[in-house]
Amino acid sequence: MLNLLNRLPPGATRGVERLLKSIPPVRSYIEKQYDSMMADLVEELHPYGRDHKVYARLPKEGVAREEILREMEEFLAAEQDRWAKGYASGAVYSGDPAHIDFLNRVYALNSQSNPLHADLWPSAIKFESEMVAMTARMLGADQTADEIVGTVSSGGTESILLAIKTYRDRARAERGVKRPQMIVPTTAHVAFEKAAHYFGVKLVRIPVGPDYRADVEATRKAINKRTIAIVGSAPTFPHGVIDPIYELSELARERGIGFHTDACLGGFVLPWAEKLGYPVPPFDFRLPGVTSMSADTHKYGYAAKGTSVVLYRGKELRRYQYYTATDWPGGLYFSPTLAGSRPGGLSAAGWAALVSMGEEGYMEATARILAAGRFIRAGIQRIPELTVLGDPLWVIAFGSRTLNIYNVMEQMSRRGWSLNGLDRPPAVHLAVTLRHTQPGVAQRFLEDLQDAVDYVKAHPDESTGMAPVYGMASSMPLRGLVGDILIRYVDMIYSVPEG
């Protein structure tokens, strides 16, 4: 049955989904399966529901500040151990206590500032403009005759949304494109899919090769007069490989369309990796076809969550990102990004992180991360049941031809690790951070991974936690049913447990 469904085109599978859901016994069975899966995840999402007071409505009298702080200290003590000891993939990129304390102090000093009110807080304007300038020069602005400009956003997703909105509006104004499309590899971050959904842009997916890098020839064939932008990743989130940015950006340049390098994950690693002698192909504004980039300061820039930088080749292009209102009774209004009011404290912390790290700090951090990544990759390759995907430097994805890799992920979870499950093909990845460069952490990861593999080999039919959800998502051709599970998961996040 699954093989038959897998051969159906997407439109046909959607029809099958609607048919199945219209049959009461089938719909009842599906709902029971959903409920069963979600029941196993309630405790994971709401572990404090039984031991702490639940506020489903405002308390009649305000709770004492000391009590609130005491409870938050309990949460910190319960949650900090895993990421601080290096058990998490990505998530916390520095984690150094002195660095955290420094950024917290910076935020406290600027907690009331708002870049929307430049007259009140010109310091916020200083912080953001200099964050953009420093990031631009790190990514090749000094090696092109063009002016590289940008803005600060709330994170990688917003940076990507802003870039696609910019290309849509430019194509509409300059070329009269009414039904825009963008070309992205299947491995591009899901934020591009979100941008397509939000801004009415058709998403044209191109395949990746056996090395998990975007197919250049397929991209060439997909370009048409409605194409507003092509996308490449440096590196991709799933497999940590760098797309052929030069070749892809040249296709865009030849046709006079935009090219966006998504360096949210690698923008603050790859420039220093190149200086350290690692094989890093060109990916930034040194390439004339690259017209925009995104780089996350709150990842390997070691800033507080959440800030990112989106960059453009020239002010004319950046201006399509802005929003202005000239006829509002509330006065003249402009907004450079999606938000109006923004937390100036985060911009201050981002600026402080960049300035306090400096080139030498980023170089030293990158050297440690890449050394740990090389050690972990080699260790994974020594486990016969596992296969490393692609040719990664520090985001190490691995799968298995003989084991259910999601059961391996679940067993790693039981040993304290928080890893990222991947799909198509089924795999897991570890994004190496400074937390993993602590003494013994990389070795502990490999030892626990070998134990997890041995356990799954001995118990092949045991599947618990998120493993069944990932397993079903990987094999289920009816993607709407998988989407239903994700929707229920989000519903559960926003549900308040009974006290």
Asked whether residue 472 carries a pLDDT value surpassing 60, the answer given is no
Nearest one of 159, 151, 149, 173 to 313, comparing CA atoms? 149
pLDDT tops 60 at residue 427 = yes
Do the domain assignments include residue 168? yes
Whole-number pLDDT of residue 27: 57
* DSSP β-bridge partners for residue 421: 428
Residue 216 pLDDT exceeds 90 = yes
pLDDT of residue 5: 39
User: Residue 160, exposed/middle/buried by CB under 10 A (0-12, 13-18, 19+)?
Assistant: buried
Q: Which CA distances in Å does 307 have to 208, 232, 262, 369?
A: 30, 21, 15, 21
Domain-located, residue 130 = yes
> pLDDT for 369-416, tens place per residue?
999 999 999 999 999 999 999 999 999 999 999 999 999 999 999 999
**Which carries the bigger pLDDT value, residue 65 or residue 51?**
65
pLDDT for position 282: 96
pLDDT at 417 over 90: yes
CA angle (371 as vertex; 366, 376 as ends), nearest 5: 125
Task: List the single range of 92-96, 163-167, 465-469, 489-493 with lowest mean pLDDT.
Answer: 465-469
Q: Tell the burial category of 214 from Cβ atoms under 10 Å away from its Cβ (0-12, 13-18, 19+).
A: buried
Confidence of residue 471 (pLDDT cuts 50, 70, 90): low
Looking at residue 484, what is its pLDDT? Answer: 73
* Beta strands at 181-185 and 227-233: parallel, antiparallel or unpaired: parallel
**Structural domain count, the chain:** 1
Q: What is the mean pLDDT of residues 152-176?
A: 97
Mean pLDDT of 187-209: 97
- Is residue 188 domain-resident? yes
pLDDT of residue 65: 96
pLDDT at residue number 2: 40
**How far is Cα 373 from Cα 235, in angstroms, rounded to an integer?**
14
Residue 249 lies inside a defined structural domain of this protein: yes
Q: Tell me how far apart the alpha carbons of residues 100 and 93 are, in angstroms, rounded to a whole number.
A: 11
Using CA atoms, how far residue 291 sits from 156, 206, 218, 223, 259, in Å, is 17, 20, 21, 17, 5
Please report which confidence band the pLDDT of residue 497 belongs to, taking 50, 70 and 90 as the band edges: confident
* Dihedral angle, C-alpha 407, 411, 416, 418, nearest 10 °: -10
Q: Report percent pLDDT > 90 for the chain.
A: 78
- Is the confidence at residue 260, as pLDDT, over 90? yes
Six-digit token string for 472: 């079903």
What single letter denotes the amino acid at residue 17? E
Q: How far is it, in rounded angstroms, from Cα 162 to Cα 439?
A: 40
150 located within any domain:
yes
pLDDT of 16-59, one tens digit each?
556 555 566 655 655 666 666 666 666 677 777 778 888 888 99
Res 8: pLDDT: 42
Cα 82 to Cα 100: distance, rounded to the nearest angstrom: 16
Tell me, yes or no, whether 41 lies in a domain. no
Strands 202-206 and 181-185: parallel
pLDDT at 449 over 90: yes
Domain that holds residue 240: 109-354
Write down the pLDDT at residue 14. Answer: 57
Judge contact between 54 and 47, C-beta under 8 A. Answer: no
Question: For residue 316, is pLDDT > 80?
Answer: yes
Query: Would you state the pLDDT for residue 239?
Result: 97
Confidence at residue 487, expressed as pLDDT on a 0 to 100 scale = 77
The angle, 0 to 180 degrees and rounded to 10, between the axes of the packed helices 405-414 and 467-475 is 160
The whole-number average pLDDT for the span 447-469 is 83
Q: What is the pLDDT of residues 168-195, one digit of tens each?
A: 999 999 999 999 999 999 999 999 999 9
**Percent with pLDDT over 70 in the chain:** 87
Query: Which of 81-90, 104-113, 204-213, 430-439 is predicted least confidently?
Result: 81-90
152-161, 240-249, 419-428, 444-453, range with the lowest pLDDT: 419-428
Q: Are strands 420-422 and 395-399 parallel, antiparallel or unpaired?
A: unpaired
pLDDT of residue 479: 54
Sheet containing 420-422: which strands, arranged edge to edge? 387-388, 395-399, 427-431, 420-422
**C-alpha neighbours within 13 Å on the C-beta side of residue 346:** 18
The Cα 330–Cα 314 span in angstroms is: 31
**Which CATH number characterizes residue 175's domain?**
3.40.640.10
pLDDT at site 346: 97
Residue range 463-486: mean pLDDT, rounded: 58
Question: Could you tell me if residue 40 is inside a domain?
Answer: no
Cα 390 to chain centroid distance, Å, stands at 19
Given a cut of 70, whether residue 289 has pLDDT beyond it is yes
pLDDT, one tens digit per residue, over 338-371 is 999 999 999 999 999 999 999 999 999 999 999 9
Any domain includes 98: no
